[in-house]
Amino acid sequence: MKAKWFIACLLLSSSIAVAAPAHKKAGHHKTGKAKAVKISKAVKPVKIHATEDHRLQLGSAVAMIVDQQSGETLFSRNAASQAPIASITKLMTAMVVLDAGLSMDEPITITEADVDWLRNSGSRLRVGTTLTRGETLQLALMSSENRAAAALARTYPGGMAQFVAAMNRKAAELDMRQTHFVDSTGLHSENVSTAEDLVKMVRAGYHYERIRQMSTAEGYDVVNDNGHRTAYRNTNALVKSPSWDIGLSKTGFINEAGRCLVMQAQIASRPVIIVLLDSWGKYTRIADANRIKKWLESSRTALARLG
């Protein structure tokens, strides 16, 4: 009799533990409910079918992690919400330039028309500086140089208007239905998208070898006619980290968008696409990326133990 009572208690305790809701940690952003984690012994470390996993705490208001090969969503927060994307725009700028088949050796001179009069952002790329189109694209992608991105659009056949039209056509081709562009730099807050759409843009951008190489370069030196050398660095510090294997990178920031970051990276032997928008602090997007990496690696380790 005692044995039966003891077994019944165990079963009751087990059912209560399973039914109990996950503890919700207080935070600034709303979170979804955690769902069960499905573990497979296949190549995939862990399949997460939830919109959000409470084991992964992020500071970015919008976030999405997708398996690049299968298209499976591993984590999602406000991924369908349309928001300004700042210089993430320059990833589309690069694709439009490369799709046009324009000479990368053609010289482009920075003019007053390329100066940012909207936000009066600074630039070390002085008016009168002449670079090749390839160098201009390098600075736009790697260092998020606004004058470089503006010059790329200005020197496009038909000028800025035709360039922006090409950007929106490309977005339509990629089925980015909640995306709209009004300029090549991302300085305008009317450049908007969703995390779901940006995953599509990153996936498309990854197919361009130049974009992969340029966006992940640690630095690039520009030498002017007088022999003066100006060193430019990647706006994503993670590209120089030996613990990261990043295949594509782009950062962005304007006040309306917050700090943004999109990446393609190999984590725990798995190619993933990461989108982080509206990070509230200067370093939050980087910290979030590191938290994502640790989370995916921990999932891989947990699976190996279950092996």
Instruction: Give residue 225's pLDDT.
Output: 74
Kindly report the pTM of this predicted structure. 0.81
Ramachandran class of 268: left when φ > 0, alpha when ψ lies in -120 to 50, beta otherwise:
left
C-beta neighbour count of 38 within 10 angstroms: 11
Phi, psi of 131 (to 5 degrees): -130, 165
Structure tokens, 65 = 């992690």
DSSP 248-266: EEEEEEETTTEEEEEEEEE
In contact, 132 and 141? CB cutoff 8 Å:
no
- Summarize the confidence of residues 56-68 as an average pLDDT: 96
Q: Is the pLDDT of residue 82 over 60?
A: yes
C-beta neighbour count of 30 within 10 angstroms: 10
Instruction: Give residue 4's pLDDT.
Output: 39
Structure tokens, 291 = 């938290």
DSSP-derived 3-state class of residue 222: strand
Nearest 5 degrees, angle CA 262-CA 267-CA 273?
30
Instruction: Give residue 304's pLDDT.
Output: 53
CATH superfamily of 32-306: DD-peptidase/beta-lactamase superfamily (3.40.710.10)
The DSSP call for residue 180 is B
Q: What does the alpha-carbon distance between residue 140 and residue 24 come to, in Å, rounded to a whole number? A: 41
Structure tokens, 215 = 């966006």
Q: Is the pLDDT of residue 161 over 70?
A: yes
The DSSP call for residue 87 is G
What pLDDT, in 10s, does the model give residues 254-293?
999 999 999 999 999 999 999 999 998 889 999 999 999 9
Q: Which residues pair with 220 in a beta bridge?
A: 232
Position 253: which residue type? Answer: F
Q: What does the alpha-carbon distance between residue 63 and residue 23 come to, in Å, rounded to a whole number? A: 21
Instruction: Give residue 302's pLDDT.
Output: 53
Instruction: Give residue 35's pLDDT.
Output: 32
DSSP 267-305: ETTEEEEEEEEEESSTTHHHHHHHHHHHHHHHHHHHHHH
* Residues designated as active site: 87, 90, 144
Instruction: Give residue 301's pLDDT.
Output: 62
CA dihedral (78, 295, 271, 98) in degrees, to 10, reads: 50
In contact, 253 and 259? CB cutoff 8 Å:
yes
What pLDDT, in 10s, does the model give residues 108-136?
999 999 999 999 998 999 999 999 999 99
The set of residues, in sequence order, having a beta carbon less than 8 Å from that of 97 and lying 6+ positions away, is: 133, 137, 152, 156
Instruction: Give residue 156's pLDDT.
Output: 98
Instruction: Give residue 125's pLDDT.
Output: 95
Instruction: Give residue 32's pLDDT.
Output: 35
Whole-number Cα distances in Å, 142 to 90, 203, 221: 10, 18, 12
